[in-house]
Amino acid sequence: MGRWPELTLVAAEAVAGAIGDGASIKEPNDVLLDGRKVAGILADATDTGRVVLGIGVNVGSAPWPGAGFVEHDRLDLLVSILDELERGYNAWVTAR
């Protein structure tokens, strides 16, 4: 499971892809929109060899001054993130 930290970037790419135009990744775990942080990803390996991903996206408003946010329907964005994450994860597994 030595490659599990790569899943942080896989998740960041999924979130950026779901957000769409203007989204970029600030490695290793932030997603920016027009230069402002709109999402963060944390990955943690469990004792059982599984990886837990935590993904937070600012939707509709920014939680602090200077932060960004995305204007999306929350459910639609979640579905898009999960679709992108599935594609990215499958590619990551295949590359192993």
How do the domains of the chain map onto residue ranges? 6-85
The pLDDT of residue 89 is 95
The pLDDT of residue 47 is 87
What is the number of residues in the chain?
Answer: 96
Instruction: Tell me if the bond preceding 28 is cis, omega within 30° of 0.
Output: yes
The whole-number average pLDDT for the span 61-85 is: 95
Residue 96: pLDDT over 80: no
Summarised one tens digit per residue, pLDDT across range 9-66 is 999 999 999 999 999 999 989 999 999 999 999 999 888 889 999 999 999 999 889 8
Give yes or no for a contact between 31 and 38, defined as CB atoms under 8 angstroms apart: yes
The pLDDT of residue 4 is 85
6-85: CATH superfamily:
Bira Bifunctional Protein; Domain 2 (3.30.930.10)
Tokens of 51: 């990886």
The whole-number average pLDDT for the span 70-75 is: 95
Q: How confident is the model at residue 1 (pLDDT cuts 50, 70, 90)?
A: low
